[in-house]
Structures are given as structure tokens and as C-alpha cells.
Amino acid sequence: MHTTKPMRVGLIGTGRISDIYIKNCAKMESVDIASCGSLNMAESQAKAEEYQIAQCALPEEIIQDPNIDAILNLTIPAAHAEVSMKALNAGKHVYSEKPFVTYLEDGRKVLDLAKERGLLVGNAPDTFFGGRWQTLRKAIDEGRIGTPTGICAFVPTHGVERHHPNPDFYYAHGGGPLLDLGPYYLAAMIFCLGPIARVAGMARKTFPKRQIENGPRTGEWMDVDVDTHCLSLIEFESGVIGQMMMSFDVWESETPRLEIYGTKGTLCIPDPDPGDGANIFHGPVWLRTRETSRWTMRPRPKAPAEWEVLDNTHGLNFDARGIGLAELAQAAREGRDPRASGALGLHMCEVMQAMLASPALGQFVEISTSCERPALLPETTCPDLNIDMGIRP
């Protein structure tokens, strides 16, 4: 039985994304969401009542509350840096939604302040804690595909206005498919292959306006201020090369979400289940090697019957968003950096900004930041981080 006192968390930003965090954290032993709030107090009060959160307060009150150990920063991207800085100045650990920040220098200031104050900074996504990504990494570490040589990631969608009632920020500064979807796949890439050395990119804005198709604002038009179809080339510090497409302009596609190529085989993450989107912890992992592949010119099968489907029980096989916060709490107890760290978030931030800057420069952009490749999850540890996530009945 886990007996360590839970980390008391103040949640700031009670919008749509907060529900899954609150539901999952309620099942975790290492964290306790003790307070919630946003600038919309009516929304925050309703959220507190729905989930029986003890206190509802304004963001500044939560940050200054001496009984709060950490801030869960679920504000819009443009506010991430400001809220995180205030929390650190108040002596709180911070775990933020992605992207880490929208300006690279803000990210450096956040990490510098955290180091100065002896505090931890964690950052979403934590989806690479999921079973399929942990399985992918384990297969690489075991040499199942030999030496990795290349990687491709593709997320073709047609935006968020069909399912999000207030999607404006996705099309304003700090939004767009690269900053919204890219972190899930960049985090997985860095987890599997290590940090990135340089990138190049191309991007375009296809539609100057988009129409909201969901909720009370249905039919309302929004301005689009960001590129919505982004292509990138990536070179890792290890020498692996790759490519990535993140788009809000594609109606449909049959491409796998991610493939990793090696000297002896290929690992593949197929298309996620309908409705699961990019935020996936679970799903099949396919492995194909020279021994299992056809090398004649006969037609390939339509279904992946020849692929070995790897067992992905090592990790979390449901939408476990918020597990990164629990892992940060464990890191605080153990005196180490969290796996979903601010350093990883800053590295991804620079990579994405370089991808967006590359078209105007007409060249590759060298990446100045780096980070540790996050370690695999242990198969048994504190209740919140073993295979079943230590869920209380």
C-alpha cells in the first residue's frame, strides 16, 4: 500500500482538457487536486462541484496558497510561460500542457528559474508512457530492427473546429498543427531515438478562415493566423534521419502514424482507432524483419498478416493523461528530473520553432538545446506507475 503523502496540486485552466486530468488524478495515490480555478469562475465552480474538488479560487490565489505543492498548468498556450513563472516564484513545482511555451526565451527563463529555486518542471505530452510507445522503445533497445536508420511520422487531420466548441486558439499564435499535434510525435521520437540536431521545414496556410462546426458557436467564422500544413525533415544527434507531416488541411489518409526503420527491420504504429486522434497511449505495434518479409515481386497483402504484433503490456493502455504529473511527484520524492521534463519540452519547442522558421531561411536550422532521452518506465514501482497505474477501486 502506498503511504507517502500525496502532492497537493492546484489546477489552473478548467477548460475541456481538464476533465481527463481530473478523472485520472482522482484515481492516483501520489497526487491530489486540491484546488481549481481559471479566469472564468463560473466554469471553475461548476468543475469543482462536478468533481468534488475541495476549493475553487482565482489563479493568483491558487498560486499563492501555501498548502499547494504544485501547479497543473492547463491554460491556453500563450499563457503557459506566465503562469509557470508565477508558480515557480511562489515555490511550486509545475506541470504544464503542451506546448511548453510559445517563445523559446520564455522557456529558457522558466527552466533557469526552476533550477535556481530547486523546483521541478514537467510538461505534456506524457503519451510516450503508453504501452505502444514503451513497447516501441523496448523493441529498439532489444535490437529487434538492428540499428535505427530512419523515421517517418504523419498526422493528417482537417482541424479541430468539427469537435471543439472554442477552437480559436488553435489558429492563433501558439497554435497550428505543428504545435498542437507535433509534440506527441516529437516526444515519442526523442524517447525512442534521442535528441534532435537540426531540422528543415516547409509550411502553408491553406484556408484564411475556418468555420466552427460544433457547439453554440456553430457557423461562426474564425481568422487563421498560422500555417496549417507543415512538412519537416529531421536529423537526430545519433545520425538517424526522418520526416514528419502535421496537418489541419487533409480530409483523409491511409498512412501509418509512425514508422521506424532499421538495418534489420521496421517498426510501425498504424492508424489509431476512430475517434482516438493523436493523443494515444495504446494500440498495436507491428514489427517486420527480413526473415518475415516477402522479397519476391508478388503483390503485398492488403492486411498486415505478415507483421508480428508485439505485446504492449509494458506501459499504460488507456487514456492515462496526467500520469506525467504523478511521475513528477515521484521524481520530487526521489530527487531526480521527471521523464516528461521541462528540458524535453524546451527542446521540442526549439525544434518546432526551427521547423517553422526554416522556410523563410531556406536552409536547415541547427538546434542549440538538447535533453536526456527519457528512461523506460519500470515495470514495477510506486502504485501510480506500474502497469495498471495503481488505480484505486
The answer on pLDDT for 307 being more than 50 is: yes
Low-confidence winner among 6-15, 80-89, 305-314 (lowest mean pLDDT)? 305-314
Confidence of residue 299 (pLDDT cuts 50, 70, 90): low
126-308-301 Cα angle (round to 5): 115
Distance CA 68, CA 327 (A): 17
pLDDT (mean) for 136-147:
94
The answer on pLDDT for 337 being more than 60 is: yes
The answer on pLDDT for 278 being more than 50 is: no
Q: What is the pLDDT of residues 32-53, one digit of tens each?
A: 999 999 999 999 999 999 999 9
Task: Note the pLDDT of residue 271.
Answer: 67
Distance CA 63, CA 70 (A): 9
Task: Note the pLDDT of residue 275.
Answer: 43
CATH numeric code, 131-309: 3.30.360.10
**Contact present, 131 and 282 (Cβ < 8 Å):** yes
Asked whether the domain spanning 131-309 has the same topology as the one spanning 7-127+320-339+369-385, the reply is no
Low-confidence winner among 45-49, 187-191, 244-248, 302-306 (lowest mean pLDDT)? 302-306
pLDDT (mean) for 139-156:
95
This prediction has a pTM of 0.90
**30 or 292, higher pLDDT:** 30
The identity of residue 179, as a single letter, is L
pLDDT (mean) for 230-236:
98
Task: Note the pLDDT of residue 297.
Answer: 45
Pairing verdict, β 265-269 and 286-289: antiparallel
The answer on pLDDT for 387 being more than 60 is: no
Domain ranges of the chain: 7-127+320-339+369-385, 131-309
Fold of 7-127+320-339+369-385: Rossmann fold (3.40.50)
374-386-128 Cα angle (round to 5): 35
The answer on pLDDT for 173 being more than 90 is: no
Task: Note the pLDDT of residue 384.
Answer: 52
Rounded to 5 degrees, φ, ψ at 265 are: 175, -170
